Structure 1
Amino acid sequence: MSNLDSAIKLLFVVFVFLAILIALPAVVFGVIQKWQVIFLLCGYLLFFSGNVWRVWRYGKLSKTQEDAQFKESAGLVILAGQFIAFLAIHWWAIYNFSRLSKTETFLQVIGMIIVVLAIIINQLAIRTLKGLFDRITIKPNHQLITTGIYRQVRHPVYLSYVLLLIGYCTILQSFVSLVLTVVSCTIWLGNRINIEEKMLVEKFGDRYQAYQRKTKKIIPFIY
């Protein structure tokens, strides 16, 4: 399968993903025509276009079974829980939005800014990693990237996911979905980052430990 074929296949998966998480509940709850929903659909599509670009430029990602988090029992449980949480976050937020009698313009503007920031961070991170953007796997030619946005945080891609979900919840003004986002991402990404960093320490040793001391994990200047 050529890179273009793989990219087209991934783009189809992205459309299905957006249909299940946003379009379908928006149709069910009668808000598919709202500009907020349309903005979020476009924003999510731009966000995941980075994944499609990476596959088109450098070839398909590693198989899901090769991801280190899938190889651990605890990781599998956490991933299953995160999938359920993703559905709950998106569907509940749209349901809540459909019942609002009034929306707060200030919150929606803040949410839009957060979504745009998430897109920018995600695109910068993927284009910095290039072909190394993949699942949690270590390959023979693996390199340690500490340039660009990786000078500030070690896991900007994960930061972009958190920001995307926070922006989504803020635009739709769902406090419940926001709390669920914080809790589920703390568990999901906490486990994922621990696995990934352990592998990187084993691969790069003192070089990665020195990098850890100079940078924050996921939130610039804070954590």
Structure 2
Amino acid sequence: MEAAKVLSHSKTAPFGFSIVSNKVSLRPFNKHFRADVLANRPKSISFQFNCTHGNPFSSVPKPARKRADLLPPLSCSISSNASTESQNPVLEFFRSLSLDSIKATLLQLTPIKVVKWSGLLCIIIAATKWTMNMLFSPFFWMYFSWTWLFWPWLVAIALAVYGLYCFQRHLLGEANIFEQLTIVTSVFTWLTLVPPGHFNGYLEGWPFVFFFVYHYFFFFNVSIRKRLYGDFYARPHDPKWDINVPTMSRLLFSAGVMVGHWLAAFEGPELHLIPGGWSNLGIWALIITTLLMQYNATLYLAKYSENVVEPSAVVQFGPYRWVRHPIYSSTMLLFVTYCIALRAPLSLLFIVAVCLLYYKQKAEMEEALMVETFGQSYTDYASKVKFKLIPFVY
């Protein structure tokens, strides 16, 4: 069948339908107009009508169809050839680089800037030269390998320096929880790990055990706060209950405890010579006794106290039935257990003497405050429980 052309009216240019077989194409009659449209429009749109019901101009009668079936399906495809090129800053810099821009930059330099940049360039060159000479020197690598023999000292010293920094922030009231934990960890490292590591050249056995036991022991009061209040923070309280001995006494006590631990590491045998097995059962019993004594003493005191540190009554239960200051006694027992574990009897006697001198002074100040607060009630308790720190001894 020949193609039939039907004119269609438009405001811009006439368009025509070219119907060949079952396909209908829409195109302008004017070729110049078509070329102009294709050159100017950014997108190309093509429409295709698929006439599945045959040629509408055919004389062959077709069966009647619904009105909706007379509309052929429309398919539309849109394509765009527009693309953007990514700009490279390096290429842009070299493109903008010219002799005039270099001259303008040089004219803006002042003598001070010249001296500054020249000095910086000299430092960079000297540092690069020194680094390269050091890296290619065999003696450097030989000396560097020796430092691995002393790396625990480097770690311990770095931890101590950072611990002192955190302690300074703690005195100012600015230390967070991590910094407070760092203070405790640095102290316990220099008490339990560094001395035996220095005198033995290695670490094994009891020093590691007591490193963790010390942490657990001195964090009991924090766990009591968590149990009573639901958090770890101390509550405001009357400052009169902060029993503070003179600063010199505290410094001497701290130094004495440190010296006692170093003496124990020096006095005791080498770590691999300390027997194990059932012979250490008594030491484990002392550790458990110390932990239970500290925990129960703190817990009973907290139950009869406001804000944990302000006693509201005279506590006469738990460890307070045997000694009047079980918290101090448990601390002293912990140090004694450490000396027993390292087989250092002379160091044990030294630490006991240091603790007795310090805690005796602190206990007297505390008992005077208790008598002032509770009067006859505490006097009766003191007459009933005669021992301050050591049951049946003192």
TM-score (norm 1): 0.79
Any gaps of 5 or more consecutive residues in structure 1? none
> Are 1:155 and 1:218, in contact at CA under 8 Å, matched by a contact in 2?
yes
2:268 alignment partner, SS class? helix
1:145 alignment partner, SS class? coil
C-alpha deviation, 1:164, in angstroms: 0.5
C-alpha deviation, 1:102, in angstroms: 3.6
2:260 alignment partner, SS class? helix
C-alpha deviation, 1:55, in angstroms: 4.4
**Pick aligned residue for 2:234 from 51, 60, 66:** 60
Compare 116-125 and 146-155 and name the one that shifted more.
146-155
Any gaps of 5 or more consecutive residues in structure 2? 1-174
Say which structure is richer in strand: 2
> Are 1:7 and 1:56, in contact at CA under 8 Å, matched by a contact in 2?
no
CA distance in 1, matches of 2:210, 2:306: 24
Give the percent of matched residue pairs that are identical in Structure 1 and Structure 2: 24
**Pick aligned residue for 2:347 from 174, 177, 197:** 177
* Partner in structure 2 of residue 14 of structure 1: 184
CA distance in 2, matches of 1:9, 1:55: 19
1:119-138 aligned at under 5 Å gives the runs 119-130=291-302, 132=305
- What is the letter of the counterpart of residue 199 of structure 2? F
> Are 2:200 and 2:271, in contact at CA under 8 Å, matched by a contact in 1?
no
**Pick aligned residue for 1:198 from 332, 356, 368:** 368
> Are 2:297 and 2:326, in contact at CA under 8 Å, matched by a contact in 1?
yes
> Are 2:306 and 2:312, in contact at CA under 8 Å, matched by a contact in 1?
no
CA distance in 2, matches of 1:7, 1:55: 14
Higher-Rg structure is: 2
2:244 alignment partner, SS class? helix
CA distance in 2, matches of 1:39, 1:109: 14
1:74-153 aligned at under 5 Å gives the runs 75-97=246-268, 99=270, 102-103=273-274, 108-130=280-302, 132=305, 139=310, 142-153=312-323
* Partner in structure 2 of residue 23 of structure 1: 193
Q: Deviations over 1:70-119 (max 9, x none)?
A: 3xxxx332221111111101122123335478435587443332222111
Tell me if 1:218 matches 2:389: yes
C-alpha deviation, 1:150, in angstroms: 1.8
> Are 1:111 and 1:166, in contact at CA under 8 Å, matched by a contact in 2?
no
> Are 2:326 and 2:389, in contact at CA under 8 Å, matched by a contact in 1?
yes
**Pick aligned residue for 1:35 from 185, 191, 205:** 205
With over 3 angstroms needed to count, the CA separation of the structure-2 counterparts of 1:210 and 1:91, relative to structure 1, is: same
Tell me if 1:48 matches 2:218: yes
With over 3 angstroms needed to count, the CA separation of the structure-2 counterparts of 1:52 and 1:113, relative to structure 1, is: same
Q: Deviations over 1:26-60 (max 9, x none)?
A: 33334653111122122212212303213445532
TM-score (norm 2): 0.47
* Partner in structure 1 of residue 328 of structure 2: 158
With over 3 angstroms needed to count, the CA separation of the structure-2 counterparts of 1:102 and 1:49, relative to structure 1, is: same
1:68 alignment partner, SS class? coil
With CA pairs under 8 Å and 6+ residues apart, which has the higher RCO, 1 or 2?
1
**Structure 1 residue ranges (4+ consecutive) displaced by more than 6 angstroms after TM superposition:** none
* Partner in structure 1 of residue 16 of structure 2: none
CA distance in 2, matches of 1:37, 1:100: 9
CA distance in 2, matches of 1:198, 1:134: 21
CA distance in 2, matches of 1:51, 1:198: 23
